[in-house]
Structures are given as C-alpha cells and as structure tokens.
Amino acid sequence: ELTKTIGQSSSSAKNPTRKSSFPETSDKKVGYWLLASSASVFGIVIFGGLTRLTESGLSITEWRPVTGSLPPMNADKWESEFALYRASPEFKLLNPRMTLEEFKQIYWMEWIHRLWGRFIGITFLLPTAYFIARRRVSAGMALKLTGICGLIGFQGVIGWWMVASGLKDDLFAPGSHPRVSQYRLTAHLGTAFICYLAMFWNALSIFRENRLLANPQESSKLLKQMMVPELNFFRRSVGALLVLVFITAMSGGLVAGLDAGLIYNEFPYMGLGLTPPKKELFDTFYSHVPDHSDLWWRNVLENPSLVQLDHRILATTTFTAVMALWAYTRFNPRVRAFMTPGAKKGMRGVVHLVWLQVALGISTLLYMVPIPLASAHQAGALALLTGTIALGSRVWFPKRAAKLVAQRLAAGAPSPLAIGKRGPDAMLAARTGLPARS
C-alpha cells in the first residue's frame, strides 16, 4: 500500500494542482493544545460523575447559558435559587428537610460542573478559530476541529436535556423516583467520551505525522513494517476492542442511571446463581404495550437486574478479549517479531488497565457503590479507552501520513533521465527499500 502511495505521489508531482493555503501538516503546538483540551474533558467527565454520585445534578433547575455563569452573589439570590429547587420533584420527594446550607453544597457542585463545560467550550472554540485563521493546521484538521466545536455545543444541549428529564411534573406521582433518564444520562456520557477521544486521537495523529515526516527515509521502513500481513488480524482486533470497551462503558451509564449497582452486591453470583431468574430478567412490569412486544428491549434497557447482568457480561467479554489479544501477541512468534516496541508496550499498558478496571468494578459492586470507588471506576473506563486508542495509534496504518512521506520521497527523486533508464518504481524501490510494483 505504501509502494502504491509513493507511485501515486510521484505521478502527482509531475502534474501539480493548485496548492491549498493550508499547510500539509498541523503545527505540533496544536497537538499539545488538543492534549490539554482532552485532559480537561477527562476531568469534567470525572467531576460530572461526582456530581451525579452526590445527587447534585438537579440542584440548578434552569438553563441560563450566559447569565448562569455567575453564582448567587447575595442572600436574596440564594433564597431565590433555593425556592426554585424546593419546587422540584427531588426536593419534595427526597430532600424535604434540606436546609439552605445543605442546598449550597450541591448547588456548588453543579455550578462548577456547568462552568467547567463553558470553559472547555471557550478554550476550544477561540483557539480553533485562531489556528484556522493563521493556517497552523491542515485543511483536514481544520474540518475536524470545527466538528469538535459543534460536538461541544451539542454536548451542552444534551446536558440540559438530561437535567430536564429529572424535573418533569410526572415525577411527583406516587411511587416515582426523581432522577434523570438513564437514556439521556448515557447519551450525555457517550458524547463526552466521543469528544474526549476525538481530541486525544487527533493530537496523537498530529504528533505522528510530524514524527514520520522528520525522517522520511526511516519512516518509510517503519510504515512498511506496519503493513506486513502478519499484523492484519491484530490491527483489526484493536479496532474491535475499542468498540467493545466503548459499548461496555455505555452499559455502565445505564447501570448508573438506574442505580443498578445497588442490587446484587456480590460477585460472581447474582443471588443463588450466576444470573437472576429468567422471570426477573424479563419482567412484564417494564412492558408498555398490551401485547408485550417491547418486553425484550425494555428489560434490556430499563430493568436494573438485566442491565447489571448485561454490564457484567460485557465487562467479562472485554477482559477476556484483552487477555486473548495479549496472548496472541505474546505467544505467536511471527506476530511478535513484527510488532514494534511501541506496540508491545501499548499492549502491556492495555492489559494493566483492564485488570485495574475489573478490580475497581468488582470492588464498587461489593461495597455498594461508595463515591470514591465509583468515581475511580468511571475514570478507569476512560483510561482503558485511552490506552486502547493509544495502542491503535501505534498499529493502525496512517494513510495520510504515509502519503505525505511518499510525497517527500518523491520530491527528492533523481533526474528524469535517470528515471527513464531505470523506471520510476525501481528508483523509488531502491531509495525506500520497498519492493517495486509489478
């Protein structure tokens, strides 16, 4: 594939097209900024989890994107905010004895969470505009950064949409439990994860491109090594693992939204067996239609017992997949021979992270979701995703970077006379160490 890319680049060098005003590669400073932004998103995800665990998320009952940036500044404004909260289902049904001082504690948690979100939006939007205007990023990266800006704004809307689900009037009904929709909570969590991964991945991409282009000759050898058939299965497996880890994390969002971690606080059993009785897992109570045609999916997404079981199954599958992939790379001599030192190190990192995450998950369950463990478990999910995508950056073939490397090599091609005598493919093969195209 790299040989093909080099050949295409050589041809394009003979037929130049209009040059874009954007550079070929993005400035490394953009990569460092993206890393800092992703770290901030990582932090707000953890703090958002703490906001939920301390039951602070419904303390601010209005969405004021601009004026809401300022907290209550005097006693009257505090009383006004408290009055709004006292009218909410959560206060009337769960916290009727809450004092103003107690309210302030949960209010500050939610206020900081919202302010942090605004901070991320501003510190991403303004630098994006600057980097694009000053042409510090490639054209493709400019589009990606613009997309992330839109994703951040969308995340703010989802956040309020989630909070609004916990303020509905029907939550005043007898037997209701004031809390946000588990669907909206999971959507909010998933969007945050995607936003984080987009920032982190693009930062890695920028660093990788700059590193490869610093020495095109050596990079061509590395890229050739990455494309050996022996690593095809491993590359695809890392991509599948990333999807599996993400799905497992989202199932954890459903567990959190339903407080499903507060039941069956034992492992590996759930009651008298590895699973609860089938009647409990597929309870008609959760069906909303007379013919029960929605029985299966309603229970999968709304029945705390089945939601917890699903999360256990997904977590066990993720752990098994990581260990199987590690064994494949560790005990298959051909695969191990072609893996770069960075890929081996990345695989070991994912193994360590998955063991840590399993230990945190089981501990959180056994101790009935204490805040420190639950927060650490959420951080562990994002850390495992980080490790997996970092591993991917070391084994997935960087097509764009390979094209740029090929162009750099083609730009240093010998004279047309020499090329005519030996042929362009033969010359490129001699210079890069790659086989010529037949």
- Residue (of 258, 25, 256, 247) closest to 135 by Cα position: 25
- For the stretch 224-235, pLDDT in tens is 878 889 999 999
Residue 79 has what pLDDT?
A: 96
Q: Do 350 and 211 share a domain, yes or no? A: no
Q: What is the pLDDT of residues 23-66, one digit of tens each?
A: 989 999 999 999 999 999 999 999 999 999 999 999 999 988 87
Residues 289, 217 share a domain:
no
Same domain, 335 and 261: yes
Pair 258, 307: CB distance under 8 Å: yes
Mind listing the pLDDT tens digit for each residue in 375-426? Answer: 999 999 999 999 999 999 999 988 888 888 888 888 774 433 333 334 444 4
Per-residue pLDDT tens over the stretch 62-90: 988 877 789 999 999 999 999 999 999 99
Residues 76-85: contacts with CB within 8 Å, 24+ apart? Answer: 78/104, 81/107, 85/58, 85/59, 85/60, 85/61
Q: Can you give the residue range of the structural domain that contains 362?
A: 228-396
Q: Are residues 205 and 284 in the same domain?
A: no
pLDDT digits (tens, 9 = 90+) for 332-388: 999 999 999 999 999 999 999 999 999 999 999 999 999 999 999 999 999 999 999
- pLDDT at 143 exceeding the cut of 70: yes
Domains of the chain: total: 2
Give the residue-averaged pLDDT of 191-198.
Answer: 98
202 and 256 share a domain? no
The pLDDT value given to residue 408: 83
**Residues 166 and 239 both lie in one domain:** no
Residue 437 located in a structural domain: no
Which of 182, 206, 221 lies at the terminal end of a domain, its last residue?
Answer: 221
Lookup: tokens for 155: 């995340």
Average pLDDT, the chain: 89
What is residue 262's DSSP assignment? G
Give this prediction's pTM: 0.88
Report the pLDDT value the prediction gives residue 421, as an integer from 0 to 100: 38
